[in-house]
Amino acid sequence: MSTLTIQVLNNSGNSKIYYLFYQPFSAQFTPMACVTQKSTTITNNKAATFMVEMPSAVVCGTSPNIPLAPGVNVNIEESTIITPPQSVSIGVQGNDPYFPSIDAEATGGNWAKISTTRYDSNPDAHLFCGLGVVQASGRVTPSCVWEIEPISSYPVPDPPQPLVFYISSDPNLDIGTITTAKDAVPAVAVDFTGTGGTFCLVTQLSNGSFQVNPPSDDTKLGRRE
């Protein structure tokens, strides 16, 4: 799939920092979205440009004494890039999850299958796994996470990412912050589903709300940061 581009034009009258997070896939367990990208400070009439890559890694970590929920900032402790379809096993040493092996095998039509073995850990460690996005810098940032339990399987559908993304200027966010469109205020959805477009211009207006142009391949509307 081509890289998607979301450009955010700041017409709010004030300097802003913009954040990008992804709509998680649907599952019986509950994937929670994390902020994947953060702009620099964008002055009025300037624009932030987000190059949106699809998840290509699995991640894991812990959230000591803090259950995963909107507002919690997660730090991934380990990540590994996969070539789907693959099965990924999560091992746990003490309270620390890790990836001991990745197997290229059928996953029942899924993009990946993440499985845990039997382990004993402190429930207050709040072990989690999820999907990650490899940024241009090579850094892996989480796109969604969920808490894990022993002897469990977490199938990730193919494709692993709906073509729905969110832009927010909520100053309480940062990279790795778990959030939703309801909790990040203000926020707006950018939906590329079925459009064939790879570019979308979003404008923040003087009242703080966002205006979303229909996705297209026309980047002439864009303004550079």
Q: What's the confidence (pLDDT) of residue 1?
A: 57
The terminus-to-terminus CA distance of the chain in angstroms comes to 25
Q: What's the confidence (pLDDT) of residue 104?
A: 64
Q: What's the confidence (pLDDT) of residue 106?
A: 59
> How would residue 65 be classed by pLDDT, with cut points 50, 70 and 90?
very high
Q: What's the confidence (pLDDT) of residue 3?
A: 85
SS3 letters across 160-207: CCCCEEEEECCCCCCCCEECCCCCCCCEEEEECCCCCCCEEEEEECCC
Q: Which residues on adjacent β-strands are paired with residue 35?
A: 21
CB 74 within 8 A of CB 144: no
Question: What residue type is assigned to position 171 of the chain?
Answer: P
Residue 219 has pLDDT above 80, yes or no: no
The pTM score is 0.93
Distance CA 223, CA 35 (A): 23
Q: What is the mean pLDDT of residues 68-88?
A: 94
> How would residue 223 be classed by pLDDT, with cut points 50, 70 and 90?
very low
Residue 150 has pLDDT above 70, yes or no: yes
pLDDT digits (tens, 9 = 90+) for 24-54: 999 999 999 999 999 999 999 999 999 999 9
Q: What residues have CB less than 8 Å from 106, skipping those under 6 apart?
A: 85
Q: What's the confidence (pLDDT) of residue 218?
A: 65
Q: What is the mean pLDDT of residues 156-171?
A: 97
Q: What's the confidence (pLDDT) of residue 100?
A: 87
CB 156 within 8 A of CB 50: no
pLDDT digits (tens, 9 = 90+) for 87-145: 999 999 989 999 987 766 656 789 999 999 999 889 999 999 999 999 989 999 999 99
pLDDT-above-90 percentage for the chain: 84
Residue 17 has pLDDT above 60, yes or no: yes
Question: What residue type is assigned to position 197 of the chain?
Answer: G
Question: What residue type is assigned to position 92 of the chain?
Answer: V
Instruction: Return the domain boundaries, the chain.
Output: 4-221
Residue 225 has pLDDT above 70, yes or no: no
Q: What's the confidence (pLDDT) of residue 217?
A: 79
Distance CA 55, CA 36 (A): 10
Q: What is the mean pLDDT of residues 65-88?
A: 94
Distance CA 158, CA 110 (A): 5
Structure tokens at 24: 């998680």
Distance CA 200, CA 210 (A): 13
Positive or negative: CA dihedral 212, 216, 217, 218: negative
Burial class, 113, CB count within 10 angstroms (exposed 0-12 / middle 13-18 / buried 19+):
buried
